[in-house]
């Protein structure tokens, strides 16, 4: 996980977590990164921080951050559910089929073990892993 400090043209600044730097680029390209203040997609990353606990972080800040992160992950999940086909445990099989048969298909999502995901990546198949969040309210 990588933390980026994101800033918006409206002056808003906040932190966001990403699986890796490619994930940031992918979400940005798909305009899934939006400013929590003004909903603009003109988000820029400023500084990259390592995943280390920051003692200066106040509890209240942390709660706010977690809420925003959760909202973003729910948005992401909604997007995937709306735009991609669920293939469950057949994910690796389906991903290969799309890659090798050059099927024009909409995106798929499903489950894969870290080993399966690594194999797909080695074969040059483009996949991304996202944190899958429960949509039930707190
Ligand atoms: Zn903004």
* Domain positions in the chain: 1-49, 59-138
Q: What is the pLDDT of residue 36?
A: 85
pTM value?
0.48
Backbone angles phi, psi at 64, to 5 degrees: -65, -45
Q: What is the pLDDT of residue 90?
A: 92
Give the Å distance between the CA of 82 and the centre of ligand 1.
25
Residue ranges for the chain with pLDDT beneath 50: none
Q: What is the pLDDT of residue 66?
A: 85
Give the Å distance between the CA of 8 and the centre of ligand 1.
5
Give the Å distance between the CA of 66 and the centre of ligand 1.
19
d(C-alpha 111, C-alpha 89), whole Å: 5
Give the Å distance between the CA of 2 and the centre of ligand 1.
21
Per the DSSP assignment, residues forming a β-bridge with 16 are: 4
Give the Å distance between the CA of 7 and the centre of ligand 1.
8
* Residue in this structure with the two tokens 């024009």, named with its chain if needed: 104
- The secondary structure element, H or E, covering residue 14 is strand 13-18
Q: What is the pLDDT of residue 137?
A: 60
Distance of CA 81 to the CA centre of its chain: 13
Greatest CA separation for the chain: 52
């Amino acid at each position: 996980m990588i933390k980026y400090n994101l800033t918006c043209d409206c002056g808003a600044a906040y932190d966001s977590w990403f699986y890796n730097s490619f994930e940031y680029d992918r979400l940005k390209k798909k305009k899934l990164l939006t400013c929590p203040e003004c909903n603009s997609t003109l988000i820029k990353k400023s500084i990259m921080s390592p995943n280390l606990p920051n003692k200066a972080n106040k509890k209240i800040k942390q709660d706010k951050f977690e809420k925003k992160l959760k909202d973003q992950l729910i948005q992401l999940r909604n997007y995937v559910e709306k735009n991609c086909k669920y293939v469950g445990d057949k994910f690796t099989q389906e991903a290969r089929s799309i890659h090798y048969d050059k099927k024009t298909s909409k995106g798929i999502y499903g489950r894969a073990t870290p080993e399966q995901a690594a194999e797909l990546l080695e074969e040059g198949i483009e996949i991304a892993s996202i944190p899958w969040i429960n949509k039930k309210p707190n």
